[in-house]
Amino acid sequence: MEKDKSKFKQFWQKFSDTTRELHKTDWIIIGVLVLVYGIFSFINLGSTKNPQTFYEFQNTGDEIVFSVGDTAEGISKIRMFAGDSNGTYDIYYSSDNETYNFAVTVEQTMSFAWDDFEINQDLKYIKLISRQPGTHIGEIQLYDTYGDKVEAISENEKAKLMIDEKDVVPAIISYKNSAYFDEVYFARSAYQYVHGINVMEWVHPPLGKLIQAIPIAIFGMAPFFYRLMGNIAGILMIAVMYALGKTIFKDRRWGFLAAILMMFDNFHFAQSRMGTVDTFLVLFIMLSALYMFKYITLEKKEPLKKKFINLGLSGLFIGCAISTKWTGLYAGLALAIAFFVDLFFKYFYKKRQTKNDKKELLTIIGYCVLVFVFIPAIIYFASYLLFPRVYPEEVHSISDVFRQMGWMFDYHSGLQEGHDFSSVWYTWPIMQRPVWYYGGYLGTTMRGTIVGIGNPAIWWFGIIASIFALIMSLMKRNKEESYVVLFILCTWLPYMFIGRAMFMYHFFPTLPFLMLAVVAFVKFICEKMKNNSFMVFYIAVVIFLFSYFYPAVSGLLVSRTYLDTLRWFSTWFF
């Protein structure tokens, strides 16, 4: 028995490596965690097939005519796939192709999404008449009164593009085959970049949409592909979170715990599987924070090359973050504060500078101007100039980019319109008003939903942990807790000065650092208890609550009764 205990102790001591570096064992653990999360994050991510050819109405009054097979006993509905450009058109029906009766007006508001329109008529012909030019339709499918598919036959050449991909028509319309929430802006703009069209979403810099566009350019425009890069970024966040936890807290256990928190947070799961750019933003911020911490923990005597590598990577990734969304600037503020505080203590505080110190100091500052100003600027401007088709005007020069930035600023500063799911910055940690992204139904009893809600065991416990980290940073001036608190404050508090409508997903860049505060608090408790029982118990609670809320963030079809049990507060609407 004593021998078994000794073996377990040896194993645990090996697991609890107390260095900041990542070793072979760390990479094995990261690989296992990434593989496990990667598998279930790709489950039902989205269809790989959607219409790729579209008919575009060229003029107001354009007509497209279809006939139906002789076996049809009435048409109950028409299923249609909206393309890149929205518009309005009328649907008429006829029994003789001469006298037509009005059925319904279709106002396309979504892009790259399926929708059904009720007909409920005995008919032989269907006519679509455009009310405006530019409307894109990818595919149509007719259904009889029994819900069975009915073949549509093109009566003019224009109609053929609407019935050439019958195998991609879904049996059920859901998030798996249709764009939802802000995908109609970001995924659509990624498609437009691929096809050289003026992009619709111009109120954020292009980099995130360009990354999103890579699989679209290779494989085509389908939900799986315009969500692919965001999901991969979400998977990589697990690895970076492990690195942050171990690097900051110098123990393999805390890297493991940090990765587990990111793996089993419901908000991270929902947000990274949606075809928007927020996951890129947060991943870049995490990487920039990781390399800046690596830099500030280097001894002054370390070679410049090592310092330059960490500073260079930090500058590179914060440049990518800002080129994805301007809110990356908030993390940039945290990096600047951390850098200059470290510079003060290493070169000025209670120290007499030597000639070599002054030379190294000037070299480092000059290098930082390069990697934190010029390189981010190059990334930002290049993301525009390499792909100049940007709405509202094309961008071909540096001055064009500055003009575009002015329009973006005017848009964000003037956005006063309310929203059903908007919320105030100080309510985000308590999750007072999660954003409902998607809702789908199957019959009267089954429902699928996707809501941006976090794991209560992480978010609410994170409030206590953040207060603890703040106290530790003020009382003991611990570099680790101070660094975490700095990023929490810099990525969150600036929103108190913003008057536009805001949403809980604006808290996403703060979430990794909230989790690191949790790690610091759990570390403190375990060290006081002199064992890891609390960590094991806490991880079990986190995994349980993730599983409990999983249907609400995954779109999984479950009973409405089950979803009702997840609405703990009246403001949780989904």
What pLDDT, in 10s, does the model give residues 59-105? 999 999 999 876 556 899 999 999 998 899 999 999 888 999 999 99
pLDDT at 387: 76
- Quote the CA–CA distance of 385 and 263 in Å, as a whole number: 37
Nearest partner of 566 among 543, 542, 550, judged by Cα: 550
Q: How confident is the model at residue 245, as a pLDDT?
A: 98
Measure the CA–CA gap between 169 and 340, rounded to whole angstroms: 58
C-alpha distances (whole Å) from 399 to each of 216, 314, 537 are: 30, 27, 57
Which stretches of 43-115 are DSSP H helices? none
Interstrand relation of 125-130 and 446-452 (parallel, antiparallel or unpaired) = unpaired
How far apart, in whole angstroms, are the C-alpha atoms of residue 207 and residue 380? 8
Q: Give the Cα separation of 219 and 61 in Å (integer).
A: 34
By C-alpha distance, which of 270, 235, 279 is closest to 549? 270
Distance CA 430, CA 87 (A): 40
Give 90-101 pLDDT, tens digit per residue: 999 998 889 999
CA–CA separation, 279 and 292 (whole Å) = 20
Q: Is 250 left (phi over 0), alpha (psi -120 to 50) or beta?
A: left
Six-digit token pair at 312? 């260079």
Across 122-141, average pLDDT: 92
| Position 26 pLDDT exceeds 60 | yes
Domains with residue ranges and CATH for the chain: 2-46+201-566 (no CATH), 55-168 (2.60.120.260)
Percent of the chain having pLDDT more than 70?
Answer: 96
Angle at 395 between CA 394 and CA 396, to 5 degrees: 115
pLDDT at 501: 87
Q: Token pair 């107001």 is at which residue?
A: 60
Q: How far is CA 544 from the centre of its chain?
A: 24
pLDDT of 16 strictly over 80: no
Q: Would you state the pLDDT for residue 423?
A: 94
pTM of the model: 0.93
Please give the pLDDT value at position 156. 79
Q: Which two tokens stand for residue 73?
A: 């006993």
Whether 251 shows a pLDDT value over 60: the answer reads yes
Residue 180 phi/psi, 5-degree rounding, is -140, 160
What is the pLDDT confidence band of residue 391, given thresholds at 50, 70 and 90? Answer: low
Residue 125's SS3 state is: strand
Q: Give the position of tokens 């319309």.
A: 173
Please give the share of the chain, as a percent, with pLDDT higher than 90. 78
Q: How much is the pLDDT for 411?
A: 86
Burial tier of 3 (Cβ tally within 10 Å: 0-12, 13-18, 19+): exposed
Long-range contacts from 537-540, C-beta under 8 angstroms, 24+ separation: 538/457, 538/461, 539/257, 539/260
The one-letter code for the residue type at 88 is: T
Average pLDDT for residues 539-562, to the nearest whole number? 97
Nearest to 84 by CA among 116, 120, 57: 57
Check whether 23 has a pLDDT greater than 60.
Answer: yes
Q: What is the rounded end-to-end Cα distance, in angstroms, of the chain?
A: 53
Report how far residue 523's alpha carbon sits from residue 94's, in angstroms, rounded to the nearest whole number: 73
